[in-house]
């Protein structure tokens, strides 16, 4: 092997140094880079509208009062209802539903302790039909955070009742469910309903700014790409002695 050979780490380090040096010379007028050519016209960029003028976390402008009901009070449901209350003024939670009483009570207690919000007994619903009772409880907005196998039917019921919807991802687990979601989404639009899904990265400022930079042509034409999301296990529920197999599957659905 030649004495002048370098390993991969040395090569990458050298490349990084050269890249930084080139950028320095360019900023000092040492080279003239060609103007950026946008990949697509700016008018065609798909950028969500974010409230400008607030401080993070963003809060919506003042508006009409909105009452929400939560379907699915597990970890994500409990988090989503707090996100809802933090999102702006004139927002309230008036009903909770979950298959399991213990999860409902945990969410109920959290709302009382953190937001001084008390949900009365007659607005707390358990069992498999809890979603319809929440929808019928005088709410304007339905927050759906149940296991995804149930979401298509619950979304359909919400649209049938003329409710605005926030629904966590994934929206379904099979082609039948996805086609149902698509059809009911179109119905929701035709009825003037607002439907938002939990694709939070699409509404995150740093992601949006990166998207705008790429479309401005900063890295040139894109010929290929791979996207990775590396994370640990979300959660795991060990089966307890008093759980049936069905209850275990519902509580541990992500696995």
> How would you classify residue 152: left for phi > 0, otherwise alpha for psi between -120 and 50, otherwise beta?
alpha
Has residue 53 been placed in a domain? no
Each residue's pLDDT, cut to its tens digit, for the chain (255 residues) gives 445 555 555 545 555 554 544 444 444 555 566 778 888 888 888 887 776 665 555 778 888 999 999 999 999 999 999 999 998 899 999 999 999 999 999 999 999 999 999 999 999 999 999 999 999 999 999 999 999 999 999 999 999 999 999 999 999 999 999 999 999 999 999 999 999 998 878 888 888 889 999 989 998 888 898 988 888 888 899 999 999 999 999 999 988
Report CA dihedral (136, 142, 80, 110) to the nearest 10 degrees.
-10
Residues of the domain holding 194: 66-198
Has residue 111 been placed in a domain? yes
Has residue 141 been placed in a domain? yes
Count structural domains, the chain: 1
Has residue 37 been placed in a domain? no
Q: Quick one: which of 188, 138, 183, 190 has its CA closest to 166?
A: 188
The CATH number of whichever domain residue 91 belongs to comes to 3.40.50.720
Has residue 79 been placed in a domain? yes
Has residue 165 been placed in a domain? yes
Taking the C-alpha atoms of residue 72 and residue 59, their distance in angstroms, rounded to an integer, is 24
Has residue 113 been placed in a domain? yes
Has residue 19 been placed in a domain? no
Check: pTM over 0.95? Answer yes or no: no
């Amino acid at each position: 092997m030649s004495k002048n050979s370098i390993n991969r780490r040395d090569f990458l380090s050298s490349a990084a140094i050269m890249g930084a040096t080139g950028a320095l010379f360019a900023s000092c007028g040492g080279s003239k880079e060609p103007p950026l050519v946008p990949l697509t016209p700016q008018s065609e960029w798909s950028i969500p509208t974010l409230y400008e003028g607030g401080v993070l976390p963003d809060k919506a402008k003042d508006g009409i009062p909105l009452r929400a009901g939560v379907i699915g009070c597990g970890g994500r449901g409990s988090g989503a209802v707090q996100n809802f209350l933090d999102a702006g003024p004139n927002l309230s939670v008036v009903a909770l539903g979950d298959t399991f009483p213990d999860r409902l009570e945990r969410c109920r207690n959290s709302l009382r302790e953190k937001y001084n919000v008390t949900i009365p007994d007659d607005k707390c619903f358990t069992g498999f039909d809890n979603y319809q009772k929440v929808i019928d409880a005088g709410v304007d907005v339905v927050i759906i955070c149940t296991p995804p196998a149930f979401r298509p039917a619950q979304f359909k019921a919400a649209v049938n009742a003329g409710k605005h919807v926030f629904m966590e991802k994934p929206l379904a687990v099979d082609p039948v469910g996805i086609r149902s979601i698509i059809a009911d989404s179109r119905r929701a639009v035709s009825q003037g309903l607002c439907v938002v899904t939990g694709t939070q990265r699409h509404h995150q400022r740093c992601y949006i700014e990166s998207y705008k930079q790429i479309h401005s042509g900063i890295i040139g034409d894109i010929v290929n790409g791979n996207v990775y999301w590396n994370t640990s296990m979300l959660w795991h529920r060990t089966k307890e002695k008093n759980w049936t197999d069905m209850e275990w599957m519902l509580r541990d659905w992500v696995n």
